[in-house]
């Protein structure tokens, strides 16, 4: 469950409810996503920050009690970049990381670009 107590309406609102170290890590993630997908729309989906592009879900991220998560929105994308994700806990659709061991921004860019390409199909 996300750390925020009431349902956030914006990403800024969501981030204001998480710890400062998680906020900093997620803000960098947000800025990186925005750089790769400047036309993507920020939103809250499933109670966590998300981006939509052309009306379709692109990526999600969130803060939890003991970690942060990035959700590329596709298990195929995770499989494609599995070798780049060594050192991170991954599951079917989630990459878990901590603020002191964040996802490399170059990898985030690759993941978002892959999702953009998938959404075009």
38 near 115, Cβ under 8 Å? Answer: no
Give the whole-number percent of the chain exceeding pLDDT 70: 94
Q: Report the distance separating Cα 104 and Cα 48, nearest Å.
A: 21
The position carrying tokens 């690759």 is 110
Digit-coded pLDDT (tens) for 17-75: 999 999 999 999 999 999 999 999 999 999 999 999 999 999 999 999 999 999 998 88
The pTM assigned to this predicted structure is 0.90
Sequence-distant (≥ 6) Cβ neighbours of residue 62 within 8 angstroms:
2, 14, 26, 48, 49, 68, 69, 71
User: Which of 98, 106, 113 is CA-nearest to residue 26?
Assistant: 98
């Amino acid at each position: 469950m996300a750390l925020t107590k009431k349902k956030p309406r914006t990403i800024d609102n969501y981030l204001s409810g998480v710890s400062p170290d998680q906020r900093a890590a997620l803000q960098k993630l947000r800025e990186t996503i925005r750089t790769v997908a400047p036309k993507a729309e920020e939103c809250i989906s499933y109670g966590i920050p998300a981006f939509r592009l052309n009306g379709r879900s692109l990526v999600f991220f969130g803060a939890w009690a003991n970690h942060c998560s990035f959700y590329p929105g596709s298990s195929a994308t995770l499989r494609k970049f599995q070798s780049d994700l060594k050192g991170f806990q991954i599951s079917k659709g989630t990459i878990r990381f901590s603020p002191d061991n964040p996802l490399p921004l170059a990898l985030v860019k690759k993941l978002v670009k892959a999702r953009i390409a998938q959404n075009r199909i």
